[in-house]
């Protein structure tokens, strides 16, 4: 379920030149199997970064480590220069990191607008949070976000009536309601039609400069539409990093993943 918090605890200011997120020599093992093995990369403020790699490369586990769902056995995760390694998920969310999981989880019995009200955390009580009497600024924020994710006309629809793609967009809206500086999106286009995938790319591109975004994705057409830089993972490590063109020409990536078909066959 989208992480919902009652407040954001902002970390100390950082130098404008510093990365927003730094992954330093990160490790985690499950039952002796190294899933993330010495991973290192950085994200600059406002960047859209995509993690790609075969199933089992460690992409989702990396998201789990950043968001606090999984605890690292070694290494550091720095957010705005502060060490957030192995903090609890609610602490990380309050610090300014929001995550949308691969399988969307919204409140099916509430309307689209009510889901957004809960995400805004207008009241710690769920029942009180969906009261019809909202402050004007809250109403405006909900309207703005629903317009951004293309659900303004469906605000009074129960969430159970949404299509799969619309449910994904609602959860993106709920994450954005927290106003995170860093947004983690785990396979946001999984199960979507071509048209829904294009619209999701439009949503992400509309967020450029407002949020830093880290995406795990397999659909390389979608990746081409949104990314600044690609980080390629293999067996828990960073295999390569660069633009689409650079990744297409990288011999290590070609050997491991791509073959003669190019990056679209990853």
Mean pLDDT for 8-31 is 75
Q: How far is CA 162 from CA 49, 110, 154, 158, in A?
A: 28, 12, 9, 8
Beta bridge partners of 26: 39
Mean pLDDT for 83-110 is 90
- pTM value is 0.86
pLDDT at residue 131, as a whole number:
53
Higher pLDDT, 81 or 1: 81
- Among 29-33, 117-121, 228-232, which is the least confidently predicted range? 117-121
Q: How far apart are CA 238 and CA 146, in angstroms?
A: 36
pLDDT at residue 134, as a whole number:
61
Mean pLDDT for 154-173 is 95
Per-residue DSSP letters for 44-85?
A: -TT-EEEEE-STTSSHHHHHHHHHTSS--SEEEEEETTEE-T
Higher pLDDT, 258 or 89: 89
pLDDT at residue 263, as a whole number:
52
Mean pLDDT for 108-115 is 92
Q: For the chain, what is the mean pLDDT?
A: 86
pLDDT at residue 175, as a whole number:
94
pLDDT at residue 6, as a whole number:
32
Higher pLDDT, 205 or 127: 205
pLDDT at residue 12, as a whole number:
42
pLDDT at residue 123, as a whole number:
46
SS3 content of the chain, % helix, strand, coil (to 5): 40, 25, 40
Q: How far apart are CA 69 and CA 99, in angstroms?
A: 11
CB-facing half-sphere around the CA of 94: CA atoms within 13 A: 10
Residue 233 pLDDT class (50, 70, 90 cuts): very high
pLDDT at residue 133, as a whole number:
55
Give all domains of the chain, ordered by start, each with its CATH number: 21-259 (3.40.50.300)
Six-digit token string for 118: 């809960």
pLDDT at residue 259, as a whole number:
52
- Among 87-96, 105-114, 127-136, 252-261, which is the least confidently predicted range? 127-136
The model's pLDDT over 138-152, given as tens digits with 9 standing for 90+, comes to 888 999 999 999 999
């Amino acid at each position: 379920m989208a992480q919902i918090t009652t407040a954001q605890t902002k970390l100390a200011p950082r130098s404008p030149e510093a990365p927003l997120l730094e992954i330093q020599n990160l490790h985690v093992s499950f039952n002796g199997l190294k899933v993330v093995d010495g991973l290192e990369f950085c994200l600059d403020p406002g960047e859209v970064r995509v993690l790609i790699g075969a199933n089992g490369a460690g992409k989702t586990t990396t998201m789990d480590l950043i968001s606090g769902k999984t605890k690292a056995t070694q290494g550091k995760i720095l957010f705005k220069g502060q060490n957030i390694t192995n903090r609890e998920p609610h602490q990380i969310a309050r610090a300014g990191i929001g995550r949308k999981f691969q399988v969307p989880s919204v409140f099916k019995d509430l309307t689209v607008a009510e889901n957004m009200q809960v995400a805004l955390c207008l009241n710690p009580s769920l029942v009180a949070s969906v009261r019809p009497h909202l402050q004007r600024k809250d109403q405006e924020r909900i309207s703005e976000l629903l317009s951004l994710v293309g659900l303004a006309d469906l605000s009074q629809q129960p969430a159970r009536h949404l299509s799969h793609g619309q449910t994904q967009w609602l959860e993106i809206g709920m994450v954005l309601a927290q106003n995170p500086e860093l947004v983690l999106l785990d396979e946001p286009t999984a199960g979507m039609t071509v048209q829904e995938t294009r619209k999701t790319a439009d949503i992400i591109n509309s967020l450029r400069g407002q949020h830093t975004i880290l995406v795990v994705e397999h659909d390389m057409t979608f990746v081409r539409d949104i990314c600044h830089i690609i980080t390629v993972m293999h067996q828990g490590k960073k295999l390569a990093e660069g633009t689409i063109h650079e990744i297409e020409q990288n011999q290590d990536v070609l050997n491991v993943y791509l073959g003669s078909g190019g990056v679209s066959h990853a």
